[in-house]
Chains A and B, each alone.
Chain A
Amino acid sequence: MTKLDSKIPKGPLAEKWTNYKAKQNLVNPANKRKVDVIVVGTGLAGGAAAASLGELGFNVKVFCIQDSPRRAHSIAAQGGINAAKNYPNDGDSVYRLFYDTVKGGDYRAREANVYRLAEVSNNIIDQCVAQGVPFAREYGGLLDNRSFGGALVSRTFYARGQTGQQLLLGAYSALSKEVNKGSVEMYTRREMMDVVLVDGRARGIIVRNLVTGELERHGAHAVVLATGGYGNVFFLSTNAMTSNGSAAWKAYKKGAYFGNPCFVQIHPTCIPVHGDYQSKLTLMSESLRNDGRIWVPKKKEDAERIQAGTLKPTEIAEEDRDYYLERRYPAFGNLVPRDVASRAAKERCDEGHGVGSTGLAVYLDFKDAIERLGKHVIEARYGNLFQMYEKIVDENPYETPMMIYPAIHYSMGGIWVDYELQTTIPGLFAGGEANFSDHGANRLGASALMQGLSDGYFVLPYTLQNYLADQINVPHFETDGEAFDAVENEVQGTIDKLFAVNGKQTVDSFHKRLGLIMWDHVGMARNKEGLEKAIKDIITLRKEFWTDVKVPGEKTGMNVELEKALRLADYLELGELMARDALDRNESCGGHFREEYRTEEGEAMRDDENFTYVSAWEYMGEDTPAKLHKEPLIYENIEVKQRNYKTA
């Protein structure tokens, strides 16, 4: 059995990364040309890693599922990216960013990783500006900042409501530069089907060409997975339609441990669900909570009349509005972390104060901000978000409050990695949302972009070299060996099996049913009974899927239904592991809220004595339950205490 070794460098926290870099192995420039690296995914982590590794001189092959690397779902991040620049002179520092991130993650993240993240955050901003990313600026020509949840300082850099887009296009431009130079080879419309191990090391991947339907083999000295999160296990989420968990899941089944699968983030400000034909949920940026105030009617009668459509929110008097976040959390108010804001919204709606036709919505109101600052200021700050809202809901948010409700957004859990971002499979690395590493049980706003780019630009290009240093004499990989044959046959076998079912129900109909099980029992509030039911229901659904799913069309050529079926087959297993992990964790922390474990005030109650660990699950085979390994979390620099957003 592999022992979990997080490989955290020795020495004081602030010197760990510097010491690591000073002592790590490097590959000399002439030898880099002899080494091939595969990067799967072209979001912030994958795109930045592929570009940076190409610049260093490695031969890089990079794969993306869309028609262009520029479409990776990092593009949809709206609000901003954190960095400890302290440009506003409001008391920020690397330590404070580190502290806020660990606290925001409810003390379930690794200190050393988070400190490194905070440390390189400043380099990211410098890098992006040098690439020509048009961040928002002040009239004096310097960069502007705004604030995000879980922080008392303004450290968030932004490009209107399209920060993810601009950062991704920055990484995409760096990648394009390397493609032009010939150091990076770009493969689009490819989906990773499995990872290939030779003598215990990751040495390649099998991909499916989504246009021709052919399976392709690619070999390399190391493989980086930057394939994003698995939020779509819930069917409805803010993730893009092709975002999926299959690459991570395949790595898990080949021996990479899966870290904290039950930690998923539910974002408080999304446009509420409106019908059963709905395909996805749209996020409204957290930045809106800078100026918007969240409320529900104080009186249940008012809420009921609003639900029935006989009362308008603008008709409710000020004293009849309950600004519940400001009431419960005076210090942070509307800017409490996402998990806290989401639960508070659910609590109000469960009590019958929700609005909208379903009663599953709360208001996000800009009336006061518009009065204070003027409509033009609000328009300049959030214009594109307001427009997006109006197109979907057909209501003008300048005149009537927005309606929002929590939705699945981000997976803090993911492939377990050590300090070098290496998985438990040697030579297999994971970056960005695909790994579990930096956000603990809850991610703070504007930290996903920071982590993706940190991993891609500043961590993987170093740590991969430490691994590759003794690989320079290993020749380029042939892909006609037994190992590749075996994995390709396995993949082909799964595809054949799916077609052979020839049942009656569509892939989406199964996915919607899985989504409901997950949302009801493994969603915002969980309990023992519900989780046990979820596990049973998922197993039953999985059996039904494999006996009655309908995949039309051919194995060759483009077949979207087959793609969806392959991803769903993995979700039907991953969902079960998420429930098992949630069941194991007999405490509430961050996004993981077990109803049995809460304080008298209804806040999440951690059990530090028994659960200050990372769950790392090992695949044991088809019919054997996964095995839990525990990586203890040791806090040497932070005093672990109950999160308090009521007072500063």
Chain B
Amino acid sequence: MNINLTLKIWRQANQDAPGKFVDYPVENISTEASFLEMMDILNEELVAKGEEPVAFDHDCREGICGMCSLFINGRPHGPDDSITTCQLHMRKFKDGETIVIEPWRAKPFPVIKDLMVDRTAFDEIIQAGGYVNINTGGVPDANAIPIRKENADLAMDAASCIGCGACVAACKNASAMLFVSAKVSQFTLLPQGKVEAHERVENMVAKMDELGFGNCTNTYACEAECPKDISITNIARMNREFLCAKVS
């Protein structure tokens, strides 16, 4: 089936320029196409007319790199659960619908151009402590320390975060607690990360605050919009770790 749509897209030339919504009609879009393929079609039409195509971030187009980042009809990654924008398909939309497309809105994620934002802040948080402080080589055999399967599985659940920033975009406080807690949890649950657990949580939380992310007020919006279903339990685990670190 093919459908016609009106796209209401945020256009902004660069970080300092004022932005505005511009309407674009698109016609004859197959419902089998992905959302980003629909954007490609629009851009091809714009280029053919000699206009500037809409800038948006994307790369792997299979839901794992975390690069795509559109706020579609009021939801990060659009109207479906547990997916990234690149996995969203046009069958989720109706013929004649108007689709509003915005960039992530959060102070620590400034707009670069149109729908593209700068998420360097996430890298900075990881650089503050999101690792085990070991160098290459000289490590014990991989099976030297048995790890409970349950813990390994929970660590994997947390580690599956793709760093897209949907949690921040969904949160009215622009809080990065889900992102930070996923990394803190992964290492808290594994013996390899235990040694420097206290320093890690303190440094990462301090960096998060410094960069201007808000606090968590338990609305669960982040969990609802996370494309990888990262659980809010991780935030509870991080809070516990943080308290332990502060009193120790």
Residues of A within 8 A of B (CB): 48, 51-52, 55, 66-71, 73, 75-76, 85, 87, 123, 125-143, 159-160, 162, 164-166, 169, 172-174, 176-177, 179-180, 186, 188, 211, 238, 240-242, 274-275, 277-280, 282-283, 387-388, 391-392, 394, 457-458, 461, 504, 506-509, 550, 552-553, 557-558, 560-561
A75 touches B152 (CB 8 A): no
Q: Flag B130-160 by CB within 8 Å of A: 1 or 0 each.
A: 1111111101111100111100110110011
Residues of B within 8 A of A (CB): 13-14, 30, 32-34, 36-37, 40-41, 44, 46-48, 50-53, 55, 57-67, 80, 82-83, 87, 89, 91, 112-113, 116, 118-120, 122-123, 126-137, 139-143, 146-149, 152-153, 155-156, 159-160, 162-163, 186-187, 190, 192-193
B142 touches A129 (CB 8 A): yes
CB contacts (< 8 Å) of B131 on chain A: these are: 131-132, 173-174, 176-177
A132 touches B193 (CB 8 A): yes
Please, how many angstroms separate the alpha-carbon atoms of A166 and B53 in the complex? Answer: 34
B41 touches A277 (CB 8 A): yes
CB contacts (< 8 Å) of B187 on chain A: these are: 132
Please, how many angstroms separate the alpha-carbon atoms of A392 and B131 in the complex? Answer: 34
B67 touches A134 (CB 8 A): no
B53 touches A130 (CB 8 A): no
CB contacts (< 8 Å) of A238 on chain B: these are: 62
Contact of B152 among A136, A240, A282 (CB under 8 A): A136
Sampled A-B contacts (23; CB under 8 Å)? A66-B65, A69-B123, A76-B60, A126-B141, A127-B136, A130-B192, A131-B131, A132-B187, A134-B190, A141-B147, A159-B156, A160-B160, A162-B64, A176-B130, A277-B33, A388-B62, A388-B87, A394-B89, A457-B136, A552-B50, A557-B113, A558-B14, A558-B113
B89 touches A55 (CB 8 A): no
Please, how many angstroms separate the alpha-carbon atoms of A188 and B190 in the complex? Answer: 30
Contact of A180 among B128, B149, B162 (CB under 8 A): B128
Contact of B59 among A73, A162, A180, A507 (CB under 8 A): A73
Please, how many angstroms separate the alpha-carbon atoms of A179 and B129 in the complex? Answer: 11
Contact of A67 among B67, B148, B193 (CB under 8 A): B67
Q: Shortest CB–CB separation between residue B191 and chain A, in angstroms?
A: 9
Contact of B65 among A73, A123, A139, A388 (CB under 8 A): A73
B135 touches A55 (CB 8 A): yes
Contact of B136 among A180, A277, A458, A552 (CB under 8 A): A458
Q: Shortest CB–CB separation between residue A441 and chain B, in angstroms?
A: 26
B50 touches A241 (CB 8 A): no
Contact of B30 among A159, A180, A275 (CB under 8 A): A275
20 more A-B residue pairs beyond the given contacts A127-B139, A133-B159, with a C-beta to C-beta distance below 8 A: A52-B136, A66-B67, A68-B120, A69-B123, A71-B59, A87-B143, A132-B193, A134-B159, A135-B152, A136-B156, A137-B149, A141-B147, A162-B160, A174-B131, A176-B123, A176-B127, A241-B60, A277-B40, A550-B48, A561-B53
Considering the complex of A and B, which 8 residue pairs feature the smallest CB-CB distances, nearest first?
A141-B146, A173-B131, A130-B139, A134-B156, A134-B155, A129-B142, A52-B136, A71-B65
B127 touches A127 (CB 8 A): no
CB contacts (< 8 Å) of B126 on chain A: these are: 70, 172-173, 176
Contact of B58 among A76, A131, A241 (CB under 8 A): A241
CB contacts (< 8 Å) of B13 on chain A: these are: 557
Please, how many angstroms separate the alpha-carbon atoms of A241 and B61 in the complex? Answer: 8
Give B203's nearest chain A residue, CB to CB: A180
Please, how many angstroms separate the alpha-carbon atoms of A162 and B62 in the complex? Answer: 12
Contact of B130 among A67, A173, A279, A550 (CB under 8 A): A173
Please, how many angstroms separate the alpha-carbon atoms of A87 and B83 in the complex? Answer: 36
Given known pairs A68-B163, A132-B186, A550-B48, the reply for A165 and B64 (CB within 8 Å) is: yes
A71 touches B192 (CB 8 A): no
Contact of B140 among A67, A130, A139 (CB under 8 A): A130
A177 touches B133 (CB 8 A): yes
Q: Shortest CB–CB separation between residue B194 and chain A, in angstroms?
A: 10
B53 touches A508 (CB 8 A): no
Given known pairs A70-B66, A240-B65, the reply for A126 and B140 (CB within 8 Å) is: yes
Please, how many angstroms separate the alpha-carbon atoms of A164 and B162 in the complex? Answer: 12
Q: Shortest CB–CB separation between residue A82 and chain B, in angstroms?
A: 14
Please, how many angstroms separate the alpha-carbon atoms of A52 and B134 in the complex? Answer: 10
Q: By CB atoms of chain A within 10 A, which of B50, B122, B142, B186 has the most? A: B142
